[in-house]
Amino acid sequence: MNTSTFSTTSFCFLLGLFMFMGCQQETKQSQTAPTAVISKAAATVAASNPLTNTTAATTDLTLEEEDCDEIEAADATTDAATLAEAKAIAEAEAAASNKKALDKKAKAKSSKSKAKSKGNTAKKETKKEAESLRATAAGIKKTPKPKPAPDAPIIAFANDTYSFGMIAQGTKKSYRFPFKNEGKKPLIIENADVTCGCTVAQIPQAPILPGETAYIDVEYDSKGKIGEQNKVITLTTNAYPRTHKLFMKGLVVSEGFMKKKQAEMDVRNGKLDAKTETPTDKEAETAVEKAVDAATEIKEAGEEDVEQDKTEDKKKKKKKRRKNK
């Protein structure tokens, strides 16, 4: 009895609880629905209200103006940067152009200075050459000769000039030039150059020891020559100085002139009878005229021959210089 009563009571309690909970849920839904309806209606009213639309539009314009200001500020900043960059480029180009102009001016100035320096150098060299020529002409040697090595060979001639006097054309004359090695090393005669083919020089082939004496044999052929003669023999050695010159001088006359002079000498010396050999006045006058003409011829021919020898000597020197270069 008690158990069934308890079960009925429990059932009734649970049923009442479920009903109460269902009523509470309906109350909540009824409260939520009007709130949503009111919110929707308010939104519709706001949309249809002109004051609300103006405020929104004003807000949008304000935002757009702010954006435009920012864009303009950004554009202004960009333009300023571009102008600054262009100005910097222009200044750099101007500086480069200015530097180029300065370099060009400096180069032109340097070229002018170099040209002036060359001109001054050329003037100095010309002046030196002129002074050297004057000194040579006056027989003055301004530049001192370099001193030889202490143990170098030294070539010493007792006489470096031989005068063969007056000879008839076609005559040959020979002479032996003696010399001594006064140095401390063997002396070597390397070569002997002559001014023309009419002169032949023979040199020793073996070295000349210190203190020894040797000879340079020279032969002159007067064939085809007339007038004063001055032949030069240039020796090249290992001594100091490297070159040494020998000279053969004399007068070459015609064979007839030589015979006449010989006859006059014989008369003076008493070898011929002056009475038998004395010519008439006219013959004597003619002989004198011929002698004067012959002497003039001899002098002119001799001068030409000397000039020719000098020219040949200069040519040979030039050839030697070219070979040495």
Q: How many CB atoms neighbour CB 123 within 10 A? A: 10
Residue 303: the pLDDT is: 63
Taking the domain 156-324, which CATH number applies?
A: 2.60.40.10
* CA R_g for the chain: 66
| Residue bearing the bigger pLDDT, 58 or 297 | 297
**208 token code pair:** 């000349």
Q: What is the 3-state secondary structure (H, E, C) of the chain?
A: CHHHHHHHHHHHHHHHHHHHHHHHHHHHHHHHHHHHHHHHHHHHHHHHCHHHHHHHHHHHHHHHHHHHHHHHHHHHHHHHHHHHHHHHHHHHHHHHHHHHHHHHHHHHHHHHHHHHHHHHHHHHHHHHHHHHHHHHHCCCCCCCCCCCCCCCCCEEECCCEEEEEEEECCCEEEEEEEEEECCCCCECEEEEEECCCCEEEECCCCCECCCCEEEEEEEEECCCCCEEEEEEEEEEECCCCCEEEEEEEEEEECHHHHHHHHHHHHHHCCCCCHHHHCCCHHHHHHHHHHHHHHHHHHHHHHHHHHHHHHHHHHHHHHHHHHHHC
Task: Report how far apart, in Å, the C-alpha atoms of 251 and of each of 165, 179, 193, 271, 286 are.
Answer: 6, 26, 22, 24, 23
Average pLDDT over residues 278-305: 57
pTM value is: 0.41
Q: Which single residue is written with the structure tokens 């009007």?
A: 34
Q: How far apart are the first and last CA of the chain?
A: 158
- Residue 112 has a pLDDT of 77
What number of residues does the chain have? 325
pLDDT in tens, 16-30: 776 777 666 555 554
Evaluate if residue 166 carries a pLDDT over 70.
yes
Give me the amino acid identity at 7.
S
Q: According to the per-residue pLDDT averaged within each range, which of 32-46, 68-82, 188-202 is highest?
A: 188-202
Closest CA to 255 of 212, 219, 215, 225: 225
| Rounded percentage of the chain residues whose pLDDT exceeds 90 | 28
pLDDT at 59 (0 to 100): 57
pLDDT at position 138 over 90: no
The reported pLDDT for the residue numbered 13 is 74
Q: Which two tokens stand for residue 156?
A: 């010493």
Whether 203 contacts 189, CB under 8 Å? yes
- Residue 69: predicted pLDDT: 66
69-105, pLDDT tens digit by residue?
Answer: 666 676 677 777 788 888 888 888 888 888 888 888 8
Single-letter residue type at 150: P
The span from the CA of 245 to the CA of 93, in Å, is 73
Calpha distance 22→280 (Å, rounded): 199
Every domain of the chain and the residues it spans: 62-142, 156-324
Query: What average pLDDT does the chain have?
Result: 75
pLDDT at residue 176 in the model: 95
State both tokens at 130.
């002129």
| Lowest mean pLDDT across 141-145, 231-235, 262-266, 320-324 | 141-145
In a 10 Å sphere around its CB, with 0-12 CB exposed, 13-18 middle and 19+ buried, how is residue 201 labelled? buried
